[in-house]
């Protein structure tokens, strides 16, 4: 029954968003609402022994296992910091006339609903329900991208909706295949994860493989994997930065979660190797396309968005290996990527506010960044170091161990991936060195300094602190939880 706390919080919050006149309280309410989600998830961890089937309100609809709860916590953290950041950010958007003040309530209501659907998706015990929740996350995140109502935003949102929803329709055909496969074996069709995982090995393998291919198309589009990635750079870079952080830090995980679940079914059949091949090809292409694109980016947020595609590719390579150790590092990579990417987008958002170009379509001109926005500049620099995998940040370990796992499959794949990752690092380094060393010309007046509100600064600094601590300190309990996740998915013990 504890799950009904989530919708109750959202309903209460939306009533607040509609009724409260003061904008200050509105911003505060948004942060409190997302913090309440984290509290509920915390209570759930403390009171419900995992894995728990039948969390209510009806039987076989919601469940909780370590993987779902883990991702619910990760996205809860991302949402909390993004909401904390959104207050100052939206104020500034309204000052510059980019956001209509009347739409602020719509913005926060959309954000709350998005958080609800993302969180519930991780608790859905039913493939059909998961599909619907994933689809609703597309709708509401596209709304948040389009809320600025500039032409580029509407374009990006429409592209996002079309590509993601079209691909999700293929996923739905996959859902039908799964249902039919279950009906043939069990006599009665079912979409319940827990039942499916138990019986997947006895399902007709061809049918299950076809289901995997179809499911993969949709979930790959949700997580921005090549060749379904074309929406991602536009949507992530045009969205308000708080939303970009959520798109990258929480929503991509929804797609990957679906892929891992679907793969855990097909993993039990003789078609596991073919499924792995699909994952390797699309994962490798994602890393390749993203790395090469990163070389010539001139827009900071677009660069970070391409880095998301690269990381999703790496995750797919890890899932494709399919060994327990690889899955272990995939899960940690999801955590590390979400938090690091959120920190990067939030600090890049400050720079975008400072240097926003007034011509539509033109890139920001970053000058004198260490004089004007030192904290955000260091946020971007440390975030970049963390995302490319410098020690002591956690992505160093995840990349290292994922790549050693890839080497067990093919040393050539390892070599090629390594080269592409180097190119990506070079692209990011080149961008930062070029943009951050730019000085303003002597006769041109320096832009006014944008005073960053405390909430905004706090959110990305704290995220970077969390990421750093995670890199330096890896508690035994966390290892136990992640081993449990891998075991529950049916990949064996680490």
Q: Which residue's CB is nearer to another protein, number 172 or number 396?
A: 172
Q: How many residues bind another protein (CB under 8 A)?
A: 44
Q: Which of 8, 11, 162, 227 contacts another protein by CB under 8 A?
A: 162
Q: Which residue's CB is nearer to another protein, number 181 or number 325?
A: 181
Q: Which residue's CB is nearer to another protein, number 154 or number 390?
A: 154
Whole-number Å distance between alpha carbons of 342 and 438: 25
**Residue 442: burial class (beta carbons within 10 Å; 0-12, 13-18, 19+):** exposed
Whole-number Å distance between alpha carbons of 262 and 254: 12
Q: Which of 35, 54, 100, 292 contacts another protein by CB under 8 A?
A: 100
Q: Which of 54, 180, 363, 368 contacts another protein by CB under 8 A?
A: 180
Q: Is 458 in the site for another protein (CB under 8 A)?
A: no
Closest by CA to 387, choosing from 314, 441, 494, 297, is: 314
The region of 81-89, 142-150, 319-327, 440-448 touching another protein under the rule CB under 8 A is: 142-150
Closest by CA to 39, choosing from 66, 76, 82, is: 76
Q: Which residue's CB is nearer to another protein, number 138 or number 347?
A: 138
Shortest Cβ 258–another protein spacing (Å): 16
Q: Which of 28, 35, 54, 204 contacts another protein by CB under 8 A?
A: 204
Q: Is 101 in the site for another protein (CB under 8 A)?
A: yes
Which conformational region is residue 181 in: left (phi greater than 0), alpha (psi within -120 to 50 degrees), or beta? alpha
Q: Is 189 in the site for another protein (CB under 8 A)?
A: yes
Shortest Cβ 76–another protein spacing (Å): 24
Two structure tokens written together for 422? 């180097």
- Residues of this chain, 42-71, that bind another protein according to CB under 8 A: none
Closest by CA to 42, choosing from 80, 67, 83, 76, is: 76
Which conformational region is residue 25 in: left (phi greater than 0), alpha (psi within -120 to 50 degrees), or beta? alpha
Shortest Cβ 243–another protein spacing (Å): 15
Two structure tokens written together for 493? 């013990």
Shortest Cβ 100–another protein spacing (Å): 5
Closest by CA to 340, choosing from 310, 316, 308, 317, is: 308
Q: Is 129 in the site for another protein (CB under 8 A)?
A: yes
Q: Is 139 in the site for another protein (CB under 8 A)?
A: yes
Q: Which of 12, 169, 295, 426 contacts another protein by CB under 8 A?
A: 169
Q: Is 235 in the site for another protein (CB under 8 A)?
A: no
Q: Is 18 in the site for another protein (CB under 8 A)?
A: no
Q: Which of 24, 151, 439, 449 contacts another protein by CB under 8 A?
A: 151
Q: Is 132 in the site for another protein (CB under 8 A)?
A: yes
Q: Is 136 in the site for another protein (CB under 8 A)?
A: yes
Q: Is 97 in the site for another protein (CB under 8 A)?
A: yes
Whole-number Å distance between alpha carbons of 258 and 120: 13
Q: Which of 36, 143, 339, 348 contacts another protein by CB under 8 A?
A: 143
Q: Is 228 in the site for another protein (CB under 8 A)?
A: no
Q: Which of 65, 125, 135, 364 contacts another protein by CB under 8 A?
A: 135
Site of interaction with another protein (CB under 8 A): 97, 100-103, 106, 128-129, 132, 135-136, 138-139, 142-143, 146, 149-151, 154-155, 157-158, 161-162, 165-166, 169-170, 172-173, 176-177, 179-181, 183-184, 189, 191, 204, 206-207, 210
């Amino acid at each position: 029954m504890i799950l009904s706390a989530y919708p109750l919080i959202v309903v209460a919050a939306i009533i607040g968003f509609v009724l409260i006149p003061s904008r200050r309280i509105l911003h505060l309410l948004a942060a409190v609402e997302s913090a309440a989600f984290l509290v509920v998830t915390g209570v759930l961890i403390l009171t419900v022994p995992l894995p728990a089937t039948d969390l209510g309100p009806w039987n076989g609809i919601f469940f909780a296992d370590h993987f779902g709860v883990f991702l619910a916590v990760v996205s809860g953290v991302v949402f909390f910091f993004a909401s904390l950041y959104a207050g100052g950010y939206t104020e500034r958007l309204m000052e510059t006339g980019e956001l209509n003040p009347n739409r602020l309530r719509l913005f926060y209501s959309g954000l709350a609903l998005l958080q609800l659907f993302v969180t519930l998706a991780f608790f859905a015990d039913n493939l059909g329900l998961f599909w619907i929740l994933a689809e609703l996350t597309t709708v509401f995140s596209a709304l948040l991208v389009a809320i600025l109502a500039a032409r580029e935003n509407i374009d990006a949102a429409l592209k996002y909706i079309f590509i993601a929803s079209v691909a999700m329709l293929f996923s739905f055909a996959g859902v039908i295949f799964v249902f039919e496969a279950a009906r043939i074996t069990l006599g009665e069709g079912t979409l319940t994860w827990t039942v499916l995982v138990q019986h997947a090995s006895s399902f007709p393998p061809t049918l299950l493989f076809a289901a995997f291919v179809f499911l993969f198309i949709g979930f790959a589009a949700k997580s921005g994997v090549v060749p379904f990635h074309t929406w991602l750079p536009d949507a992530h870079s045009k969205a308000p930065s708080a939303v970009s952080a959520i798109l990258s830090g929480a929503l991509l995980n929804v797609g990957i979660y679906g892929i891992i679940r679907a793969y855990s079914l097909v993993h039990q059949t003789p078609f596991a190797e073919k499924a792995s091949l699909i994952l390797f090809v699309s994962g490798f292409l994602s890393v390749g396309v993203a790395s090469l694109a990163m070389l010539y980016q001139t827009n900071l947020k677009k660069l970070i968005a391409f880095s998301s595609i690269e990381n999703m590719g790496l995750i797919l390579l890890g899932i494709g290996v399919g060994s327990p150790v690889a899955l272990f590092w995939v899960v940690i990579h999801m955590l590390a990527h979400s938090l690091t990417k959120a920190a990067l987008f939030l600090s890049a958002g400050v720079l975008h506010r400072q240097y926003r170009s007034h011509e539509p379509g033109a890139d920001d001109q970053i000058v004198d960044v260490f004089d004007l926005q030192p904290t955000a500049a260091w946020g971007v620099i440390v975030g970049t170091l963390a995302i490319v995998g410098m020690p002591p940040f956690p992505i160093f370990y995840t990349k290292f161990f994922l790549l050693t796992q890839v080497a067990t499959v093919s040393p050539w794949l390892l070599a090629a991936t390594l080269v592409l990752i180097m190119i990506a690092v070079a692209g990011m380094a080149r961008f930062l060195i070029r943009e951050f060393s730019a000085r303003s010309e002597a006769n041109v007046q320096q832009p006014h300094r944008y005073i960053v509100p405390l909430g905004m600064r706090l959110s990305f600094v704290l995220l970077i602190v969390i990421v750093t601590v995670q890199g330096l300190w890896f508690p035994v309990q966390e290892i136990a939880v992640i081993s449990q996740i891998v075991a529950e998915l049916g990949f064996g013990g680490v």
